[in-house]
Amino acid sequence: MKHTGSCHCGKVKFEAEMSVDSGLTCNCSICQKRGSILAFIPSENFNLISGANALTEYKFNKNVIEHNFCSTCGILPFAGGVAPDGKKMMAINLRCVDEIDLKSIKIKEYDGKHI
C-alpha cells in the first residue's frame, strides 16, 4: 500500500510502498533519544517528493546508515543504508507517516545498544 509522510514543518515529503502493520524500536544511542518507530523497505519502494535541499545527513558509529533529518524542524522522517544482503534499503519513521494508527502496529524491540 502506498503511504505518504513528512517532517513536522512539511518541507520534506515522501511516499513509500509498504505495510504498516509492524515496526521496530531500538535502544542504540541515537534511536533511544529520537524515539522512532521504524519500518524497513527496499529503496525502490521509496520516493522523495520534496525537500531534498532541506535534508541534512548524519552518520555515526560505523558510518553506514544515512540518518536524514529536516534542517528546519529537526525531524528525521527516514534513513537509508544497505541491508545485510547488500540491497539498498530505507528505514521509514512510522511516526512521520500520514494517517496511520500507531496503536495498531505490532512493535518489535531491537537491542542495538549491545551489538
The full set of domain ranges for the chain reads: 2-114
Task: Quick: pLDDT tens for 31-87.
Answer: 889 999 999 999 999 999 999 999 999 888 777 789 999 999 999 999 999 988 999
The pLDDT score that the predictor gives to residue 60 is 81
Q: Which numeric CATH code is attached to 2-114?
A: 2.170.150.70
Q: Which residue has the higher pLDDT, 28 or 4?
A: 4
Q: Do 86 and 56 form a contact (C-beta atoms < 8 A)?
A: no
Write the CA distances from 1 to 5, 34, 49, 54, 94, integer angstroms: 13, 26, 17, 27, 14
The pLDDT score that the predictor gives to residue 65 is 85
Q: Which residue has the higher pLDDT, 31 or 13?
A: 13
Could you tell me the pTM of the whole model? 0.93
Q: Which three cell numbers stand for residue 55?
A: 535534508
